[in-house]
Amino acid sequence: MRIAVVGAGLMGRAAVLDLADDYVSPNVESLLVADIDGERARRVAEEAMGLTSHKDVRYAELDATKLDEVISALREFDADVVLNAALYTTIPVVMRAALEVGAHYLDLGDDVETLLAQREMDHQFKSEGLIALLEMGGSPGLINVMAAKAVGELDGVETLLLREGWVDLNDYDAIGVPLPVPYSLDTIFDEMEQPVEVWRDGRVELVEPLSGREVMEFPPPVGEQELYYVEHPEVYSLGETFRRRGLRFVDYKLSFPRDLLLKYKLLHDLGLTSTRPVELRGARIVPRDLVRMLISESLRGKEFRPNDHDVMRVIARGWRGGLRAEVTVEALISWSERWNVSAQALLVGSPASLAAQWIGLGILSLPGVHYPEEVIDPGPFLNEMRRRGMEFRERITLNI
């Protein structure tokens, strides 16, 4: 199979290394790494070449906001599957390009409005015999599959609580890094600003970002964490998918290390995460662009290995065998020494890579536009994630 990865940032790099590794991905024949930064695409492609003895790995400079350019690159590579790991704003363009060249498509997700627009393309993908798999990263993505696993253990479900605890054990002050960036900087900034969806009784309710403080204990080394509401589209998709099973409530909360949260919140409170231009001494400056550039400069030349750990937990409450029941499914993810990839990147890139391969192999074969929980068999999928170093635990409590 021939898989094109658009975007070679933190998450795209993790997906590329998974796809290239002969141990976990033996069936990939050709791999294209495309990014707006051609030098970054080259570096990631060269890393990938070190993990395979037979794959054809290429790279290209590509502006994923330009439809004709994306179509040309995909057509030249003759892609079977397109994995879009670029900034979420590229989703409409790259998805349209995949359809135009007759390739299957998947991405890492965006907001609910984008999901709804993508679902409107269902008939077009069906008519071409193509699959589009939406929000197929970590959360959303892997957590959707875990939710399907939990719901499958119940006769009916009323509540889905999605929780994610994360800790980074690196001493960034000693390294000289003022602000670590665990995943897409734009995503982090948006999570500070955008209203958060909570799905209740078939409707979306909006709450303030970083509200709903909750303290939860996770397995070590993550331990006790403070969790907050942040915008995540799987709340909507899971609600819509499982409402026929009796589901009435879904929400998602994420933890941030306290000091890191305060740093990002300060940037937000000062208006430095805004995308609205401001006038400064006769020049128009977008605050977010300036901050992004300064953070990038602060990381330049700094060499350090990841040391983070993540726990994703799904709690499904409902009934089983006439009794009230609660099913907990959790994933324990640590950074990958083999690929030198952070836990945050691994839990996004590896599920995306595996889903792309399942599409290419015909394991996922139902044409149309789908959410992960609709078409992915949780058991085999989680088993494949175990081969990538992830650990899964399940607990069922009856008569709660």
- Note the pLDDT of residue 57: 98
Strands 196-200, 81-84: pairing kind: unpaired
Residue 271 CA to residue 280 CA, distance in Å, equals 14
Using a CB cutoff of 8 Å and minimum separation of 24, what contacts does 376-380 make? 376/144, 376/145, 376/148, 378/145, 378/146, 378/148, 378/149, 378/152, 379/149
Mean pLDDT, rounded, for 318-328: 96
* Mean pLDDT rounded to a whole number for the chain: 95
pLDDT given for residue 257 in this prediction? 79
Secondary structure class of 185 (helix, strand, coil): helix
Q: Which fold has domain 2-138+346-385?
A: Rossmann fold (3.40.50)
Query: What residue ranges do the domains of the chain occupy?
Result: 2-138+346-385, 142-273+301-344+389-398
pLDDT of residue 400: 66
The stretch 213-222 carries a mean pLDDT of: 97
pLDDT surpassing 90 at residue 191:
no
For 194-204, write each residue's pLDDT tens digit: 899 999 999 99
Query: Which CATH class, in words, describes the domain spanning 142-273+301-344+389-398?
Result: alpha beta
Q: Report the DSSP beta bridge partners of residue 137.
A: 141
Average pLDDT in the 350-365 region?
98
Residues 135-167: pLDDT tens digits? Answer: 999 999 999 999 999 999 999 999 999 999 999
Q: Are 15 and 44 in contact (CB under 8 A)?
A: no
pTM: 0.94
Distances in Å between the Cα of 287 and the Cα atoms of 87, 192, 256, 273 are 18, 15, 23, 6
Q: Which of 233, 235, 230 is nearest to 112 (CA)?
A: 233
Task: Provide, rounded to the nearest whole percent, the portion of the chain with pLDDT above 90.
Answer: 89
Tell me the per-residue pLDDT of 333-346, one tens digit each, with 9 for 90 and over.
999 999 999 999 99
pLDDT above 90 for 301: no
